[in-house]
């Protein structure tokens, strides 16, 4: 199976199996940003992760970029109107 990602509303359900990583399943839907962090921590290769995300949702980068931008704004203390 390797990495399987299925779109679930605005988030995704994930399953990983060898050889891509250890047997693991998400217990709840995750954002693309959370998937990248979690699967990277499990030792999955970034190309395999992004390939699975593209297969599940060709537009996944848009929501990921928005989430990264929101996180950076929170960390810097700026609002979207100031950017």
pLDDT class for 68, splitting at 50, 70, 90? confident
Interval 36-59: pLDDT, tens: 999 999 999 999 999 999 999 999
Region for residue 4 given its phi and psi (left: phi exceeds 0; alpha: psi -120 to 50; beta: otherwise): beta
Q: How far apart are CA 15 and CA 39, in angstroms?
A: 10
Confidence band, pLDDT 50/70/90 cuts, at residue 22: confident
Instruction: Give the pLDDT confidence score for residue 42 in this predicted structure.
Output: 92
Would you state the pLDDT for residue 78?
65
d(CA 76, CA 35): 24
Residue 3: pLDDT over 60: yes
């Amino acid at each position: 199976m390797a990495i399987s990602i299925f779109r679930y509303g605005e988030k995704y359900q994930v399953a990983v199996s060898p050889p891509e990583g250890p047997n693991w399943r998400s217990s709840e839907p995750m954002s693309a940003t959370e998937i990248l962090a979690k699967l990277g921590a499990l030792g999955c290769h970034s190309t395999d992760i992004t390939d699975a995300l593209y297969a599940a949702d060709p537009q996944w980068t848009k929501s990921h970029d928005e989430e990264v931008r929101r996180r950076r704004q929170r960390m810097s203390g700026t609002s979207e109107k100031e950017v």
